[in-house]
Amino acid sequence: MNFDLTVKVYEGTDSKTLTKGASHFEETSIGRGNIAVAAHNRGVNNHFGKIHTLELEDEITLATRLGTRIYGVVSVSKVSETDRSGLATTTENMITLYTCVMNQRDYRWCVKAAAQ
């Protein structure tokens, strides 16, 4: 399922930052390798409320001051809240998106996409 979303990404993933928009995990890359971003899935800032409906090869575009890169979705999975493997450093240019699973506080949706 495709959907249009434009959201500003802020540095850090604390609750104050998440109320402003999407949040970049500071321990991940900002340009090359794995870029990980989180956002809320409900409420006023429910930017990632539909990421679990993305399908393989759907496109995600990330535009930064460093340039624009297009990624193709390679996986959509439900992971444990404590699973931090999506934050791992990679040599391949990737983007990883995280959000909570509605009404399942112990789980997160994790979408991984590779640069095309």
Instruction: Tell me the pLDDT of the chain (116 aa) as tens digits.
Output: 567 788 999 999 998 999 999 999 999 998 899 999 999 998 878 899 999 999 999 999 999 888 999 999 999 999 999 999 999 999 999 999 999 999 999 999 999 999 99
Q: What is the pLDDT of residue 2?
A: 62
The answer to whether the CB of 58 falls within 8 A of the CB of 70 is no
Q: What is the pLDDT of residue 31?
A: 85
Q: Is the pTM of this model over 0.85?
A: yes
Structure tokens given for 79: 């992971």
Angle, alpha carbons 75-110-101 (nearest 5°)? 130
